[in-house]
Amino acid sequence: MEGIGFKANDTFIGKGEINQYNEKIKSAYERLETDAYTGWVDYPVNYDEEVMQNIIETAKKIQDQCEVFIVIGIGGSYIGARACIEMLSHSFYNILDAKERKMPQIFFAGHNISGTYHKELLDLVKDKDISICVISKSGTTTEPSMAFSIFKEQLEKKYGNNASDRIYAITDKEKGILRKEADEKEYTSFIVPDDIGGRYSVLSPVGLLPIAVAGIDIEDMLEGARKAYHQYLNEDLSNPCCQYAIMRNILYKEGKIIEVFEAYEPKLQYFMEWLKQLFGESEGKEGKGIYPTSLQMSTDLHSMGQFLQDGNQCFFETVLNVVQPQNDLMISDGDNKFKGRSMNEVNDKAVEGVRLAHVEDNIPNIRIDIPSLTPYYFGQLVYFFEKVCALSGYLMDVFPFDQPGVEKYKEKMRQLLR
Ligand code: PA5
């Protein structure tokens, strides 16, 4: 099967500049072998098959058990699963007819502290059959812990002693109050691997259980990741992960301090949120880092398009391009000037037109071609970006697997609440 494509002819970076990073990329690769929190590197080739089958069985049970599945978590314990579900499901999956959907409605909670959001969600689902999954590596994060308590109470009111059979937990194997509760109340639970940090965990049980409940083939997803593992194994400068990581660092040194991720397919909106977390939390430290942001095209061409073309040139663009979209529509109305053309054909022209206009004004442009939106390519794409991000962080001389800034706000908030 063909892989995702990395196109970087429009970055205005010469081969010689890339070659200068030869030694640095070698030592970055060495660190991937020895540093802490690099469990995600080998995960697609050495995950536990028994855990995988258990996740698949549990997902089937949840699909049969409930009409509404609530996934509670924040940051790395939330955004990867949402990115996958939004990318690979029907654009309107929650409002499709239940028979057509063939899976529970899926809602997310605990990714904010809004009383309004949670009250409205509770009101929306309270008369339906509900199951919940709480995901927190530490088991102590404020947002999911509050949402969990609200939905657990609802389940206990509704199902009494049977509530535990509808509660699923994904957390550390021994630390934290969530693990203690899961063991005491005998929730079905899964372990967040010790050596995998939140934002690198979507291909572990953290992402796999909710994704499987959404009816997405997680074995295919890991096969895609496995392909990427082999494809990007070597520290060779022709490896797209190395090239992209090096190019980001060269552009950064040239004052391109913002990376604008752009997608012309709305299903990628949450994938770009995942990218923002991945790069922002991994690189943004010690006063360094490329600020990741995203634009939804062509919507944002009618707002931010002006800035891109003519504004402060402190950014480079990374376009996520879906080569073969799932669906299309032809314009057949004789009065329309686009008669005989399809929407996807015109969307492709928008991608190309924007590239030409921007490159003419020397805006560096990278393009990632995704053959189609399938579980396999999702797995490949995730692994590709995780590797690029880790390498890029090392080249920037930061440790890409901690998040002291996030921990600091969590602690301050806990102090205020005490
Ligand atoms: O990437 C990270 O480490 C963070 O974004 C965490 O995933 C997030 O803060 C949630 O933490 P926890 O899973 O411990 O609730």
pLDDT tens profile 347-390: 999 999 999 999 999 999 999 999 999 999 999 999 999 999 99
Q: 244-253, 327-336, 409-418: which has the minimum mean pLDDT?
A: 409-418
280 lines ligand 1 (CB under 6 A): no
Q: 146 CB less than 6 Å from ligand 1?
A: no
Give residue 225's region: left, alpha or beta (phi > 0; psi -120 to 50).
Answer: alpha
Distance (Å, whole) CA 178 – CA 175: 8
What are the pLDDT digits (tens) for 389-403?
Answer: 999 999 999 999 998
Residue nearest to atom 5 of ligand 1 (CA): 75
Instruction: Examine the residue annotation and report whether 230 is marked as an active-site residue of this protein.
Output: no
**Is the pLDDT assigned to residue 74 strictly greater than 60?**
yes
**Catalytic annotation present for 302:** yes
Asked whether 207 lines ligand 1 (CB < 6 A), one says no
Mean model confidence pLDDT for the chain: 96
d(CA 143, CA 146): 5
For residue 77, the CA-to-ligand 1 centroid distance in Å is 6
Report the pLDDT value the prediction gives residue 166, as an integer from 0 to 100: 98
Active site annotation includes 281: yes
Amino acid symbol at 58: T
* pTM, entire model: 0.96
**Rg over CA atoms, the chain:** 22
* Per annotation, catalytic residue among 281, 283, 317, 386: 281
* Residue of 250, 246, 248 whose CA lies nearest to 238: 246
How far, in Å, is the centroid of ligand 1 from the Cα of 76?
Answer: 5
pLDDT at position 318 over 80: yes
CB contact at 8 A, 53 and 115: no
CA distances from 276 to 30, 225, 228, 289 (A): 26, 20, 21, 12
